[in-house]
Amino acid sequence: MRCVISTALAFFLCSGGCLAAQASSSPFCVVPVRNGTPTEKDHNQAWRMVSRIITLPGVPRPIIYALNRGGVWTIDEHRAFVPFVGEFPSNLLHDKIARDPETGRFVGINAFGGGVFVLDPGQTQFARLSEIPLRPYSVEFIPRFNAFVITDTTTLHLLDRTGALKPLPIVGHPALSNTFRVFDLPAFGALLIEGSLRGPALAIRYDDGQSDLVMTLAPHDFVQSVAVEDDGSLFVRTHRDTRKLRLSRAPSKPIVQGKSFVVQEDRMRVGTARIDARSIDKIVVRDDSTKGLTELRPDGPVKIALPFDPIHERIVALTEVPEYKIVLITTNASAYALQDDGAVSEIRGARETGVSPLTDKTRMIPIRKEAVFLGRNSLNLLVDTRISGQAACN
């Protein structure tokens, strides 16, 4: 009897201390961002501070568009929420950025205020190319040109790696009254141009300068994607329709598909019921009966041991963080990390900050390898001490 009492007492005394030891053993922590508390300009809601987050490869400062407070912001190397310095970026809707994958140069344009801006590796601020008097509409990098193609509503321009600009003439068909953007078709040695000719229209410009009008679109329609089929036809998917077209020239073989280098939001993969986490080689699913998690293995499902009761602490989302090789488990009260060895640990500081239901706001900041983490009502960073060191959590 005395042995039983001693065992029970030891368990009781250990329950708090052991959980604390488990938390402190986690290599991950959540640290606050200075100025990361919402203000009246944000309607006192932190999610409005991070309406859209753009990360640029090789640039240690994210581009953050706030919803209500205006301006463009960033989280600097001192972990402070501060304005993104410079004329560009400036507008959530009109800013467009493309990247030269070989040199790492970024070219940005603002379709409303005008101007062409560049940012090179090692820099944290865009600089205006003052000698370019354009009111650009879009930008794309074309690898075979080793240059950016910029539309300025009426024609195309080529911006090479020296910063020189020259026109890219379009001849051989009724001129488009506006040019909006281009899609690269390396198999045809051509650009597909989206513009207007008494309504939305598509034209093809071959690299020798010749061009043809390809098709017209319904009013207010626009192109979402293009691809070259195995039979040499061009498959065009628009917002309202799909078309299969034959161009006046045949594609070269083997067929190479075009690629866009326009920077988009680099969203992490998020699931609520299942996630295929390739970085840790696991397929994780929610168990409807226990509300817990199960790993699907070739030899059958295996229950994942959790350091919390999922019935009382509900799992909200699963997010793969490839740079950390974890699945981030967010609940209605805290956040946990599932590692490749199957261990799950509570992330230090997560219970204190809480977790926003908007789990798709997690973004990895290049170079620094710190992730933007939206708390219950605050802006924070998720840190891996295996990368940043233990002092990073202080």
Residues in Cβ contact with 164 at an 8 Å cutoff, skipping those fewer than 6 apart? none
Domain 28-33+268-393 fold = Methylamine Dehydrogenase; Chain H (2.130.10)
Note whether 122 and 114 are within 8 A (CB).
no
pLDDT tier at 146 (50, 70, 90 boundaries)? very high
Residues 149-162 have pLDDT tens digits of 999 877 899 999 99
Name the CATH superfamily, with its identifier, for domain 53-62+67-245: YVTN repeat-like/Quinoprotein amine dehydrogenase (2.130.10.10)
Whole-number Å distance between alpha carbons of 240 and 327: 37
Q: What angle do CA 304, 308, 311 make, to 5 degrees?
A: 90
Q: Extract the tokens encoding 389.
A: 């060191």
pLDDT at 179 over 90: no
Among 92, 123, 120, smallest CA distance to 107 is for 120
Residues 33-42 have pLDDT tens digits of 999 999 999 9
21 DSSP assignment: H
Note whether 159 and 116 are within 8 A (CB).
yes
CA 252, 257, 262, 263 torsion-angle sign:
negative
* Site of tokens 């059958």: 300
pTM of the model: 0.88
H or E element that contains 13: helix 2-25
Q: Which amino acid is at 29?
A: C
Note whether 51 and 66 are within 8 A (CB).
yes
Percent of the chain with pLDDT over 70: 92
- Predicted pLDDT of residue 13: 37
Q: For the chain, where do the domains classified as CATH 2.130.10.10 start and end?
A: 28-33+268-393, 53-62+67-245
247: helix, coil or strand?
coil
Residues 184-211 have pLDDT tens digits of 999 999 999 999 888 999 999 999 988 8
Note whether 184 and 259 are within 8 A (CB).
yes
pLDDT at 169 over 90: no
Among 306, 326, 310, smallest CA distance to 318 is for 326
Q: Extract the tokens encoding 378.
A: 């605050």
Residues 61-109 have pLDDT tens digits of 999 999 999 889 999 999 999 999 999 999 888 899 999 999 999 999 9
